[in-house]
Amino acid sequence: MGGTMDYLSDLVGGGGSSSRRRYKKRKQFQTVELKVRMDCDGCELKVRNALSSMKGVQSVEINRKQYKVTVQGFVEPHKVVKRVQATGKKAEIWPYVPYTLVAHPYAAPAYDKRAPPGHVRRVDAVMPVASYGSAAAAAAPEERLTTMFSDENPNACSIM
For residue 72, the model assigns a pLDDT of: 93
**Is the Cβ–Cβ distance between 133 and 154 less than 8 Å?**
no
Where do the domains of the chain lie? 30-94, 95-126
How far apart (Å, rounded) are the C-alpha atoms in residues 68 and 21?
40
CATH 3.30.499.10 fits 30-94, yes or no: no
* pLDDT digits (tens), the chain, 160 positions: 555 556 555 666 554 544 455 556 667 888 899 999 888 999 899 999 999 999 999 999 999 988 999 999 999 999 999 999 999 999 999 888 887 777 777 677 777 777 777 777 777 644 444 444 444 444 455 555 566 566 666 655 555 4
Give the angle 88-94-97 at the CA atoms, nearest 5°: 160
DSSP string over 69-83: EEEEES--HHHHHHH
- Helices 41-52 and 77-85: crossing angle in degrees, nearest 10, is 140
For residue 33, the model assigns a pLDDT of: 92
Give pTM, 2 decimals. 0.56
For residue 133, the model assigns a pLDDT of: 45
For residue 12, the model assigns a pLDDT of: 60
